[in-house]
Structure 1
């Protein structure tokens, strides 16, 4: 079974993005179902998996980046950064890091090498 984790780095400042609220949803057709919410620690990571057993399907992570930059007293173009991705059968871990600045972002899946 798959688990989903994430971390966030503030590229503009070169620091982890602490205290960012993250929500996890599962997508079924046109519907979005809330699964969990957490926030990043001082290292920009969540302390535990957002979900330990992710069944195959479509998921969405929503990062509250606008609130984060507001707390840093910085203006930003973004309010939230939603990221949809597919969990496939037989894949154990989905680590989905976010690299962010006030004006852009990059998301990717980090895969552990054997």
Structure 2
């Protein structure tokens, strides 16, 4: 069975971004909303079964960035990624600042 996790780091502060809302959209259009924990991590997706296909994670970063930095160029960041095969773990991290972001496939 495939699994999915995410981690959001505020690279300006050098700390995890806690209480950020994430929305996962599956290939069939189903969506589930979750929130990063105190360590900026999220892996609670309800009863979603991760089969092959293209998924999207929307990170609602504006509220977090305004609260911690007073500015946010990005109201949200969308990351599309593809799950292929079975029995793999997918990790989609986001590094964010008020004026930039980066992502990569984590482990």
TM-score (norm 1): 0.84
5+ residue gaps in structure 1? none
Tell me which residue corresponds to 2:14.
14
Aligned pairs, how many? 106
Given candidates 55, 58, 61, the residue that maps to 2:54 is 58
Question: SS of the counterpart of 1:6?
Answer: strand
Q: CA deviation at 1:103?
A: 0.6
Query: Structure 1 residue runs of 4+, over 2 Å off?
Result: 48-53
Given candidates 54, 62, 67, the residue that maps to 2:63 is 67
Asked if 1:81 corresponds to 2:74, the answer is no
In the TM superposition, 1:1-114 aligns within 5 A as 1-27=1-27, 33-46=29-42, 48-50=43-45, 53-111=49-107
Does the 8 Å contact 1:3/1:50 carry over to 2?
no
Aligned CA-pair RMSD:
1.6
